[in-house]
Amino acid sequence: LSLKEATREKLSAAWLADTAAVGGQESAEDLQMLRVIVRVLGTNFEAADLDSAAIKVTEDGPLLVSLLAQRGAVEGADELTNRMLEQLQTVPASQSQQLLRLELLLAAGRHAELRAEAERLRGADGVSESAAEAILGMSFLNEYDERAGRPRRGVERMMRWLPQEPSAAEGMAQLQLLRQGLAIADVRTRVIDRLCRMVLAGGVTGEQAERELTGLRAAGISAEYLLGRVGDVAAAVGRYEQAVPWQRQALAAASRRSFLRLNNLAICLLRAEGAKAADECQQLVEEALQLSENHPQLLATRGEILLRRGQYVRARDDFEASLAVAPGSAEVWGLLAESCRLAGDLVSAERALQERRRIEAAAADVD
């Protein structure tokens, strides 16, 4: 889709202004896009006049480019990027405008151009090297994500994503992008996340990614953090059996017992092995509760252990105590519904289930 095609149905000036101001029947993402369009393109034009519309070069430009690209309007995103870059060439090059050029290229996925521009700006007077480096780091990360097929939208889809095993040559190219990203502090945490996902996906590339993580330990990054991160990502994608050994190693590597690390091992072990691991899981979570009494996450974990053991009323009490402190967890509302149902309280079970659905629906709208 071109920029005009992507926006034709939305761009009557009055409709845009009204909808962007007060909402309507659009999703949250649609409204965000419309508000950005208003700020960048203004409201005094029609779709037919888009070719001659005065595009404002503002900090919202990269966001609009990104939104268009995410929605499949790649040609429109590229067109908008070119028009903004042309305008930037006609004004004195301040630091903010130089960085805006990089941000536009990043949003459009034009990584080779961005890196050439970043290299040109290296050491230039008046340009923040740290800010330019952060954008460069995002370029390495974004290109990896594109090549590895990471979803561009949907928090749940992104959390549960694992890459497919690439060819040998492609795997080396992807790893090289991540190595370059590791050198930039602003994106290092996210690069480590991608390496963890490569490890869990397995294959030759997974083995190479694991060696990269081992190298980070030698460079001074905490072994507990790196081991635990693989375990946490494994849990996030539902691979609890894979998560358990990583969580055990992380706990063993810790200089002191952490209630969250104890909890993460307990929940992964319970979901991997079920009731037969309940005794060890109970010991872990009780130790964690001594370190952080009445923490909602720990109460929810203990409730899940009790649920597996058939102690439905005690499980319900723990879930209710957890939700009294942190009421926004759809998962815990679902567990509460299950405990109430098994305890014979079908009315409370239905109420809890409705609350879970409400939270999930709200999260889906944000996605």
- Domain of residue 357: give its range: 306-367
Average pLDDT over residues 166-171: 94
Does residue 186 sit within a domain?
yes
* Residues 355, 158: Cα–Cα separation, whole Å: 24
- Whole-number percent of the chain with pLDDT over 90: 63
pLDDT at residue 328, as a whole number: 94
CA distances from 83 to 34, 46, 86, 89 (A): 19, 18, 5, 10
Lowest mean pLDDT among 26-30, 80-84, 235-239: 26-30
- Say if 353 falls within a structural domain: yes
Flag whether pLDDT at 12 surpasses 50. no
Q: At what angle do helices 74-88 and 61-70 cross, to 10 degrees?
A: 160
Q: pLDDT tens digit string along 326-351? A: 999 999 999 999 999 999 999 999 99
> Is the pLDDT reported for residue 184 higher than 90?
yes
Q: Does some domain include residue 121? A: yes
Q: Say if residue 215 is in the same domain as residue 236.
A: no
At 39 the pLDDT is 57
pLDDT at 63: 81
Average pLDDT (104-112) is 93
pLDDT at residue 75, rounded to an integer: 78
Q: Please report whether residue 136 resides in a domain.
A: no
Q: In the prediction, which pLDDT does 40 show?
A: 57
Lowest mean pLDDT among 47-56, 87-96, 105-114, 151-160: 47-56
CATH of the domain at 337: 1.25.40.10
Nearest alpha carbon to residue 320 among 342, 303, 298: 303
pLDDT of residue 13: 41
Number of domains into which the chain is organized: 4
Q: What is the mean pLDDT of residues 280-307?
A: 96
pLDDT at 86: 86
Q: Is residue 145 classed as helix, strand or coil in its secondary structure?
A: helix
Selected residue with higher pLDDT from 77 and 249: 249
Averaged pLDDT score across all residues of the chain: 85
Q: Which residue has the tokens 């990054």?
A: 221
CATH of the domain at 280: 1.25.40
Among 82-96, 239-253, 275-289, the minimum mean pLDDT is found in 82-96
Same domain membership, residue 250 and residue 201: no
Same domain assignment for residues 206 and 226: no
- The pLDDT value recorded for residue 365 is 55
Least confident range of 88-97, 260-269, 352-361 = 88-97
Identify whether the C-beta of residue 106 lies closer than 8 Å to the C-beta of residue 139: yes
Do the domain assignments include residue 299? no
Are residues 289 and 325 located together in one domain of the fold? Answer: no
pLDDT for 159 beyond 60 = yes
| Ramachandran region, residue 274 (left: φ > 0; alpha: ψ -120 to 50; beta: rest) | left
**End-of-domain residue from the set 159, 192, 219:** 219
pLDDT at 272 over 70: yes
Q: Has residue 160 got a pLDDT over 80?
A: yes
pLDDT(3) > 70: no
228 in the same domain as 207: no
Per-residue pLDDT averaged across 289-308, rounded?
Answer: 96
Q: Which range has the worst mean pLDDT, 78-87, 144-153, 357-366?
A: 357-366
In this model, does residue 110 exceed pLDDT 50?
yes
Is the pLDDT score of 22 beyond 60?
no
Q: Is residue 187 part of a domain?
A: yes
| Burial class of residue 46 in the structure, from the number of CB atoms within 10 Å of its CB (0-12 exposed, 13-18 middle, 19+ buried) | exposed
3-state SS, residue 337 = helix
pLDDT for residue 125 is more than 60: yes
Residues 103 and 43 in one domain: yes
Whole-number Å distance between alpha carbons of 106 and 87: 17
Can you tell me the distance from the alpha carbon of 312 to that of 174, in angstroms, rounded to the nearest whole number? 48
pLDDT digits (tens, 9 = 90+) for 201-223: 999 999 999 999 999 988 899 99
Same domain, 184 and 214: yes
